[in-house]
Structures are given as C-alpha cells and as structure tokens.
C-alpha cells in the first residue's frame, strides 16, 4: 500500500509542479510518514487538507496559449520513465479499504484522465483536443478511470479512440462504462448510435480485427450472453 501511495505521489509530483497546499508543504516524506501513522496532528491535517483540496485539478489546467498535446506527451514520457513496463494498475475498486490511498488514486486517475485525455468529451471548441485515446497495454490489470461524465473501466490489451466532436468511438478490446448522465455514442462497426443511460453499467466488446462484431450489453443482462463471454467478462472486470 505504501509503495502504491509513493508511486502515486511521484506521479503527482510530475504533474503538480511546486504544489504547496495549506501552510505546511506536503511532500513525499510527509505522505510516507502519514502512511506510517507517525504524523503529528498538524501534519496529518495538512495531508488531509491536501487530499481533499480540488487543487490537483486546478494544477492540471494549462495556460490557454500552450499546446496541451505537447504537455501530454511530455508528461506521459516522464511518467513512463519511472513506471514498470506494464502500466501500474489504477484500481479504484481494489483500494476501498485504504480510504486515503483511494482518495489519492481517485485524484491521480482524475488527473491522468483530464490531462491525458484532454478533458474527455468537454473540449468541442478546441480542434486539437478532438481525438482522445485511452490505452491499457496490460494483459493482467484493468484500468479504471473517471471523468465528470462517466466512469470507465478499460479492459486488458484495449485501446479506445474517442472523437469528442462526432461522438464516434473506435474500440479495440473491452470496456465497461457507467455514465453519470445519459450519453449517446456511436461505435465503429455498429451502425447505430447507442444511448447509455445514467446509473447503468454497460459492457462493450470489440475484437482487434475490423471484421469482429461489436457487442454492447447492459451489465444486468450479462447472464444472457454466451457463457464463454460471460466468464471472460466476469474474470476481466472482477464483477
């Protein structure tokens, strides 16, 4: 757990340059101390303030004149430099018993999504942000990401390219999506637009081969899928 928090901290340091919330500076040592439960009351309060502050999001906003795509590439390069070959699992679901780590993970995930995907689905007025790519090259771990509009779990060996302007999604692999509001998306390989309803969870499967048919079902109807696919989904997304 501590390693995880440390990794998150290091990652955050790459994107939150010189972030100094509150009076006390929150740094790597302090966070590690916090996880060892060795903080004074004042130190613990500073860490908790930092955790609950929305500044991680603010810090991710770039000056208007700067090309975000450049920042995105730079930051990802930086993060990849310290990451193991497979992307570290960002398992919001797995972290529930460690609340603070979960909170940090949520902040990180939010940060990565917002920065890495250029404010998913929000930037219709900025042409360079039209295309968003979500990748998971891990063959073991699912990546859970969260945006203002929906939670997405990206399956193993999956890539999803989202055109924010047309709402067209080019998926290769598997994903689960839980919209926070009703949204309509169109998937490559599917002739119709699909409306995903708020509060429901959907499973979307699409093989890498362009000829593979896309399968979109509500999680509640998972039992209607062929058992072979059911087992695959249950295993992959731990549902």
Partner 1 sequence: MNSIFNRHIYFFLAVLLCFSACRPSPVVSDEKANSRYSIYIMGRDGKEYLLETNSLDSGVIVPEQKGAELDVKLIDRSVIVRNGYYYHYERKGASFVKYIVEGRNLNVVSATPLQQFSIENYQWLGGDTLLLTGLSTPDFSHVKYVLLNAVNMKKLAEGNMQIPAPSGRFDSMSIGFVKPQNDKLLVGYTYHQQLSTSDYTTSDTTYISELSFPSMKLSGSTKDIRSTYPGGINTVQSSSFTDEQQNYYFMDCPGLALGNRPELPTSIMRIRAGEKKADPDYFLNFSAAAGNHAYGMWYLGNHKAIVRAERKDLFKGLGDHYSTPHFEFYITDLQTSVIKKLDLPLDKGTRRECVLINKDVAYISVNSPEEGNFIWILDIRTGSLKKGLQLAGNTDFILRIDKLR
Binding site for partner 1 (CB under 8 A): 92-94, 96-97, 102, 144, 151, 153, 155, 158, 172-174, 176, 178, 190, 200-201, 205-209, 212-218, 220-221, 223-229, 231-232, 234-235
Q: Where are the beta strands (DSSP E) in the chain?
A: 131-136, 143-146, 150-154, 158-163, 168-179, 183-187, 193-196, 202-206, 215-218
CA pair distance 64, 22, nearest whole angstrom: 26
Q: Please, what is the minimum distance in Å from the beta carbon of residue 205 to partner 1?
A: 4
Q: Please, what is the minimum distance in Å from the beta carbon of residue 239 to partner 1?
A: 8
Rounded to a whole number of angstroms, the distance between the first and last alpha carbons of the chain is 23
Q: Please, what is the minimum distance in Å from the beta carbon of residue 50 to partner 1?
A: 22
Q: Please, what is the minimum distance in Å from the beta carbon of residue 74 to partner 1?
A: 32
Specify the residue, 84 or 199, whose C-beta has the smaller distance to partner 1. Answer: 199
Specify the residue, 87 or 102, whose C-beta has the smaller distance to partner 1. Answer: 102
Q: Which of 224, 226, 219 minimizes the C-alpha distance to 200? A: 219
Specify the residue, 18 or 227, whose C-beta has the smaller distance to partner 1. Answer: 227
CA pair distance 85, 83, nearest whole angstrom: 6
Specify the residue, 168 or 225, whose C-beta has the smaller distance to partner 1. Answer: 225
Specify the residue, 13 or 178, whose C-beta has the smaller distance to partner 1. Answer: 178
CB atoms within 10 A of CB 142: 22
Q: Which residue is it, tokens 């529930």? A: 96
Q: Please, what is the minimum distance in Å from the beta carbon of residue 223 to partner 1?
A: 6
């Amino acid at each position: 757990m501590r390693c995880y928090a440390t990794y998150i901290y290091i990652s955050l340091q790459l994107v939150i340059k010189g972030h100094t919330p509150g009076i006390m500076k929150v740094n790597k040592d302090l966070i590690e101390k916090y996880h060892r439960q060795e903080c004074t009351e004042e130190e613990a309060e500073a860490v908790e303030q930092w955790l609950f502050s929305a500044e991680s999001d603010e810090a991710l906003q770039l000056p208007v004149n700067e090309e975000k795509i450049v920042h995105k590439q730079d930051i990802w390069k930086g993060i990849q430099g310290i990451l193991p070959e497979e992307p570290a699992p960002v398992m919001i679901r797995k972290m529930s018993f460690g609340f603070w780590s979960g909170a940090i993970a949520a902040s990180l995930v939010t940060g990565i999504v917002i920065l890495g995907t250029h404010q998913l689905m929000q930037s219709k007025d900025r042409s360079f942000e039209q295309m968003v790519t979500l990748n998971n090259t891990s063959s073991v771990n699912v990546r859970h990401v969260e945006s203002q509009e929906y939670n997405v779990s990206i399956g193993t060996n999956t890539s999803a390219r989202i055109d924010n302007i047309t709402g067209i999604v080019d998926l290769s692999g598997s994903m689960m999506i839980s919209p926070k509001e009703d949204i309509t998306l169109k998937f490559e390989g599917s002739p119709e637009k699909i409306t995903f309803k708020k509060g429901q969870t959907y499973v979307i499967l699409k093989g890498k081969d362009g000829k593979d048919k896309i399968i979109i079902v509500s999680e509640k109807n998972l039992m209607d899928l062929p058992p072979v696919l059911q087992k695959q989904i249950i295993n992959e997304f731990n549902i």
